[in-house]
Structure 1
């Protein structure tokens, strides 16, 4: 379910949908149904898996570290880290970008950008 998830700017709705799908698989895996009224935390603990939201964050920060370690002339920098200036904004709320998702993850997990350069710190 998380194939190429490191590049997705994840909204709460997407995370919720994937969490529901994952929990259905875990219930099935454990042989439970919703009628058994077993809490999600109990099933997660029994199987030993982290929440999908944590996995999203780990994948995204690992990819961020990979990009940061690349040389500045690498093609990944031209598409991800550079902004186009002087573009007229449309109406409504701006779309969530990958950069904003990474900044939110770094803030939520209290990680500095320098830690991203250390491969061992993020499990790369």
Structure 2
């Protein structure tokens, strides 16, 4: 089951008919994300497999998963914001139970992202899953 924040994004995507509007919305989500401190943008937080530079830093509090993330590409920042909505606040033991490809397919991302962006998105999901597994 997806979080309320992700359901809100899915509802907005349902409302937006045109993919260009959805694309702009993804970018807006990225712009609205708080910036990640440059001191956290180190090799240990860098996500391999992305065409753009991507960093994800886990934040585990009271058994719930959260993370900070950033990218040098605006569309990718938006994808990070979508992943944040999907995973933030979920108990770490439940992270691997979220079927990210199914949830993200509800947004139509699989049909409209380039193969490089899709590969990068999969790499980010895998990194989040590994971080949660390490924390549990």
Name the TM-score, length of structure 1 as normaliser: 0.29
- Structure number with bigger Rg: 1
Q: Looking at both structures, which has the greater relative contact order when contacts are Cα pairs under 8 Å and sequence separation is at least 6?
A: 1
Which of the pair is proportionally richer in strand?
Answer: 2
